[in-house]
Amino acid sequence: MSRTALHAHLAARGAVHGDDRSVALPARFGDPQAEYRALREAAAVVDLGFRTIVSATGDDRAAFLQGMLTNDVAGLAPGAGCRALLLTIQGRVVADVRVAATPEALLLDVDVRVRDACVAALEKLVIADDVTLAAPAEPVTLIGVEGPLAATLLEVTLEPGAHAVRPVGGVDVRVVRASEVAGPGVVLHVPAEAAPRVWDALVGAGAVPCGMAALEGRRVEVGVPRIGLDMDEQVLALEVPVEDAISSAKGCYLGQEVIARGTARGHVNRRLTPLRLEGPLPARGAPLVRDGKEVGHLTTVAHAFGLGVPAALGFVRREHWEPGTELAVRSGHAVTLARVAVWPLA
């Protein structure tokens, strides 16, 4: 299990770490309900060490990535950015990417668990292009600040995807307008050796340390799919709510023909769906059943703090999308009720 640059620092400050798909991340710092309230009502600081930066350099970087990613990368001026996906030729999801343009590079913020697959997929398609994909020259770690007071705390006003360099705790960091929970948050690109100092400065300014329990609960409530859980190379991009990552106006990109055909058809046969749960907490991957037939499966299960009950994301066949539809979740000998809902859950 790998550790983030902040692991030891946060453990000494009360973080209770857990295994998050082979990355040791803070599950909580104390009361997850209080951490959730900070996410919703104030400012919460989160260790985003499960994400990393790939730097794309070379004169052809923008043209190359324009043909690879689902959003309009070529149009990004320095200081701008966007969310995008890397797909297979069949339109299935390899990686979700936050792109930030600087004068020297396009910075790709990706999940560490798909970083190698993402780079390998791109490098395989570099033919005569002047493009290099590598880690930044100096190690960078990512810290999130989520909540309506995030921008105020950092004294910055940015459009979605935009970024600027600002001092935090005496350290110059790149502040990107982005969020793990579709909220008014920012993501900081921080020199790794200075991450503890920046974390303490954020807490000193009023941000509440927040673990993955609260973050995942809110993510399920608002329907943000996570790579490796809710989308992967078995999932079509059109089956998950990622509309802001796909340009409908740009030209050809990897998987674009599948996206165009699916959009023209007007529907998919299954999609990621919010579910309210009643009964024993089921395991991820548990099948969803209706009238004795399997009609889907769970992808993420979490406590929805805004509801006060467990909730889930899961793939459900289109015949059962009507809100209020009751499905059975089979997990071992227990049967839990899953009721189809709408976003946001809270």
| pLDDT, tens digit (0-9, with 9 covering 90-100), for 161-177 | 999 999 999 999 999 99
**Does residue 118 register a pLDDT over 80?**
yes
Copy the structure tokens of residue 338. 């899953």
**pLDDT recorded at residue 267:** 83
**pLDDT recorded at residue 206:** 98
**Does residue 335 register a pLDDT over 80?**
yes
* Region of poorest pLDDT, from 141-145, 246-250, 296-300, 323-327: 246-250
What does the pLDDT look like over 30-47, one tens digit per residue?
A: 999 999 999 999 999 999
Residues 6+ apart with CB under 8 A from 179: 144, 146, 185, 186, 187
Under 8 Å between Cβ of 100 and 107: yes
Under 8 Å between Cβ of 309 and 278: yes
**Does residue 334 register a pLDDT over 80?**
no
Copy the structure tokens of residue 83. 């969310």
Average model confidence (pLDDT) across the chain: 97
How sure is the predictor about 238, in pLDDT bands with cuts at 50, 70 and 90? very high
Under 8 Å between Cβ of 277 and 291: no
**pLDDT recorded at residue 194:** 98
**pLDDT recorded at residue 331:** 83
Which has more pLDDT, 335 or 306? 306
What does the pLDDT look like over 43-52, one tens digit per residue?
A: 999 999 999 9
State what percent of residues in the chain have pLDDT above 90: 95
**pLDDT recorded at residue 80:** 98
What does the pLDDT look like over 290-300, one tens digit per residue?
A: 999 999 999 99
**pLDDT recorded at residue 251:** 84
Q: Which of 330, 325, 314 is nearest to 282 (CA)?
A: 330
**Does residue 266 register a pLDDT over 90?**
no
Three-class SS string for the chain?
Answer: CEECCCHHHHHCCCCEEEEECCEEEEEECCCHHHHHHHHHHCCEEEECCCEEEEEEECCCHHHHHHCCECCCCCCCCCCCEEEEEEECCCCEEEEEEEEEECCCCEEEEEECCCHHHHHHHHHCCCCCCCCEEECCCCCEEEEEEECCCHHHHHCCCCCCCCEEEEEECCEEEEEEECCCCCCCCEEEEEEHHHHHHHHHHHHHCCCEEECHHHHHHHHHHHCCCCECCCECCCCEHHHCCCHHHCCCCCCCCCCHHHHHHHHHHCCCCEEEEEEEEECCCCCCCCEEEECCEEEEEEEEEEEECCCCEEEEEEEEEHHHCCCCCEEEEEECCEEEEEEECCCCCC
**Does residue 333 register a pLDDT over 80?**
no
**pLDDT recorded at residue 275:** 98
**Does residue 323 register a pLDDT over 80?**
yes
**Does residue 340 register a pLDDT over 90?**
yes
Please name each of the domains of the chain with its CATH number. Answer: 1-267 (3.30.1360.120), 269-346 (2.40.30.110)
State what percent of residues in the chain have pLDDT above 70: 100
Which whole-number Å values give the CA distances from 24 to 2, 21, 27, 115, 182, in the listed order? 6, 8, 9, 17, 24
